[in-house]
Amino acid sequence: MNLIGLVLCCKCRSDNGVDVERRNNDGCITEKLEKGPFVGCRHIQMFLYFLLMMYSYCMRSVLSVAIVAMNDNSTSANHDVPVYHWTDRSIVLSTFFCGYIICQFPAAHFGKKYGIKWILVCTNILDSTSCILIPTMANEFGSKGVMVCRFLQGLAQGFLLPSIHTLLGHWAPPNERSRIGTFAYAGSVFGNIFSMPITGLICSSWLGWPFSFYLWGAFGLSWSFIWMVFGFDKPKSHNNITKIEKDYIEKSLGHCKEKDNEAIPWMDILSSPPVWALIVSNLGVNWGSSILLTQTPTYLNKILKFDIKANAALSAAPYLAMWLFSFIFSTTCDFIINRNWISRGCARKIFNSIGTLCPALGLLYLGFTPKDQAYLSVGILILVGGTIGAGFCGFQVNHIDLSPNHSGILMALSNGCTSIFSVISPLVVQYVVTDQANQDQWKIIFIVSALVYATTDVFFICFASGEVQKWNESCESSETIKDKYIPKTDI
């Protein structure tokens, strides 16, 4: 007898559990799933993801601040620190993304086939070691040596997002997805907050800019040892997880019996409009965030005339706003979804629009703000950063909505295809902004970024979805499914 699909409707009743409704041919059964400990194993895993993102982005963003001191002998109290005069700084900054693009698909493939834990150990060690070697390579081989290190860092961090998305697909229950996903990815924002002002202080002190690379590289290495002990790929592989929490996670996610070598439904994925909505939205975010991360320190220094200490602190201010606002947005998003006020897909579109259209307007306004109103420009940058935080519960977690089983593949596809624009955007800046003290040239960059933000969000609004796609559980057969749990999404 053919079985119709089983539907899981999850609605938070209390902090201790959720009610689950299972429907099959025999009738309707209501079951309450307890969540387990207040601080469970899933929360510890999320904290480890947060730390990984934080340290990775510390190592990613340190060069954006340090490159100013590396090419200006007036910034450091220690005049014995080496100083260079590179004319290819934008290329040095963009080299990271050349390596970053390459490993997106291998990361998702090997993660599904071999597991994530030891892959993250190896790649993080490579990332950290390359960061530590940058001062030596700069001294021996100039900007080309730094490019090699940044390329290797890009290769290593190319595994980051697909791996974390795969892990979230195993650990983040649907009714907590916005908060858990946002908390994990907020580590990247906190990394920028943490590293930029500290890097600025180090670069201006007698320690000099080389010490900043040693510091963040050492932090990165420390994470690998913590992860070896406390990191796990899935709830079922965790040594100390309670049965209550394990059942809560696995049943609310609705995973089928897993096949580690399960074929990826590429044709279904590539022909899916919601997947293309993710790809296009990721394009806009990669372009905008690349401009914000790599070019803001230069803009503050050359146009608004802030010294390196103030530059580093003010460059971090938009990320502080993003970090704080992301928790407000994610909590609100989960609340309105779990109360069934709007559908999951509608919520993703609303918060994604906040995270893209508001920055688009902010960048437009920034481009036309007189440069003598420096603090007004900084205030706009901070507001732009704050609203970007809404994107964490927009497109960023939407991969898991569409397919918990293939979320890493979807992230590799969307992030890999669009990371090329993170390479292109600094090159466009170098081509357009031939005089870094010319605000009219910077205005062009901000206008283009605003247009990219806006057009990609319109596409996301038209084609995105919050529903689990039918190809998510291709390993299942209607002849063999006895009980299936699928989180409630669009209404």
92 CB contacts (<8 Å, ≥6 apart)? Answer: 63, 67, 86, 143, 146, 147, 150
Give the number of residues written for the chain.
Answer: 491
More confident residue, 187 or 299: 187
Q: In the predicted model, is pLDDT for residue 15 greater than 50? A: no
Residue 121 has pLDDT above 60, yes or no: yes
Per CATH, domain 41-473 is 1.10.10.10: no
Identify the weakest region by mean pLDDT among 71-75, 116-120, 157-161, 354-358: 71-75
Average pLDDT rounded to a whole number, residues 157-166:
89
pLDDT at 404 over 60: yes
Provide the b/e sequence for 381-396 (b: ≥16 CB within 10 Å). bbbbbbbbbbbbbbbb
Three-state secondary structure string covering 85-145? CCCCHHHHHHHHHHHHHHCHHHHHHHHHHHCCHHHHHHHHHHHHHHHHHHHHHHHHHCHHH
pTM more than 0.85: no
Rounded Cα distance between 478 and 4, Å, is: 7
Report the distance separating Cα 413 and Cα 402, nearest Å: 13
Cα-atom radius of gyration of the chain, to the nearest Å?
Answer: 23
pLDDT level of residue 80 (50, 70, 90 thresholds): confident
The average pLDDT across 116-144 equals 94
Which of 127, 143, 125 lies closest to 135 in space, CA to CA?
Answer: 143
Looking at residue 31, its pLDDT comes to 55
Whole-angstrom Cα distance, residue 339 to residue 332?
11
pLDDT in tens, 443-463: 888 888 889 999 999 999 999
Mean pLDDT confidence for 139-146: 92
pLDDT of residue 365: 84
- Would the pLDDT of 395 be above 50? yes
Please, which residues have CB within 8 angstroms of residue 477's CB and are 6 or more apart in sequence? Answer: none
Average pLDDT over residues 393-403: 89
Map residue 21 onto helix, strand or coil. Answer: strand
Quick check: 304 and 376 in contact, CB under 8 A?
no
Whether 120 and 51 have beta carbons less than 8 Å apart is answered as no
| Range with top average pLDDT, 57-66, 149-158, 289-298 | 149-158
How many of the other CB atoms lie within 10 Å of CB of 408? 29
**Minimal CA–CA distance to 317: which of 189, 442, 202?**
189
In this predicted structure, what is the pLDDT of residue 127?
96
pLDDT of residue 318: 81
**Out of 11-20, 233-242, 351-360, least confident range:** 11-20
Residue 106 has pLDDT above 80, yes or no: yes
Strand partners, 29: 22
pLDDT-derived band of residue 175, with 50, 70 and 90 as boundaries?
confident
**Reported confidence tier of residue 192, pLDDT bands at 50, 70, 90:** confident
Q: Is the pLDDT of residue 84 over 70?
A: yes
State how far the Cα of 130 lies from the Cα of 125, in Å rounded to an integer: 8
Which residues have a Cβ under 8 Å from the Cβ of 277 and sit 6 or more positions away?
395, 459, 460, 462, 463, 464, 465
Which residue shows structure tokens 């050359």? 302
Please give the structure tokens belonging to residue 228. 């070896």
Mean of the per-residue pLDDT values of the chain = 81
Predicted confidence (pLDDT) at residue 159 exceeds the cutoff of 80: yes
Q: Answer yes or no: are the C-beta atoms of 437 and 302 closer than 8 Å.
A: yes
- The DSSP 8-state label assigned to residue 24 in this structure reads E
Closest by CA position to 334, among listed 12, 8, 22:
12
N- to C-terminal Cα separation, the chain: 28
% pLDDT > 70, the chain: 84
Candidates 215, 218, 212; CA nearest to 81 is 212
Q: What mean pLDDT is predicted for residues 79-96?
A: 83
For residue 405, the tally of other CB atoms under 10 A from its CB is 27
Q: What is the pLDDT of residues 359-369, one digit of tens each?
A: 888 888 877 88
Q: pLDDT band at residue 333, thresholds of 50, 70 and 90?
A: very high
pLDDT band at 17 (very low <50, low <70, confident <90, very high): low
User: What CA–CA distance (Å, rounded) separates 145 from 468?
Assistant: 46
Give domain limits for the chain: 1-34, 41-473
pLDDT value at 75 more than 50: yes
